[in-house]
Amino acid sequence: MEAKKPDNVVYNEEEQRYDAALKPYATNVGAPAITAADNSGWKLTSVKTVNERFQAKFEDIHRQYQELTEQYERNQLVYNAKFNFTPQLGQTYHLYRDKHLQPFLSIIGPTECNFDYVGSYRINADKMWEEVPQAANQ
């Protein structure tokens, strides 16, 4: 019967040799204790960075949603207006309200009439209406 080696002796049974010097960790009783590294600082900064990225992405998606909603509402307003012509791409048209507050589209500019002016719009190549700033109309 083979004598059992003490627990503090590093003996490799499979290779039948002492291999304490080959181990990647301390093997004797006097060696410092193996402890997990304190990575709480790294975690805190990483969590903060990830949260900031999520927040920035959320704000970007929220801004895109608001722009899409505004674009949808603008197109609904103009497409639901009354007009008896085929709008030409790139041409500016003016939206007014009649005496029954119903919207209508016209080629007559706001400085040339006394209608209830709502805004000026231009249709783009995607058939989407874009608002034209007031200063660009004059």
Both tokens of 36, joined, read 């997990």
Position 89 scores a pLDDT of 94
Residuewise pLDDT in 10s, the chain (138 residues): 567 766 666 777 888 887 877 777 777 777 777 778 888 888 889 999 999 999 999 999 999 999 999 999 999 999 999 999 999 999 999 999 999 999 999 999 999 988 999 999 999 999 999 999 875 555
Whole-model pTM: value is 0.61
Torsion region of 16: left, alpha or beta (phi above 0 gives left; psi -120 to 50 gives alpha): left
Q: Which residues pair with 123 in a beta bridge?
A: 129
d(C-alpha 132, C-alpha 138), whole Å: 11
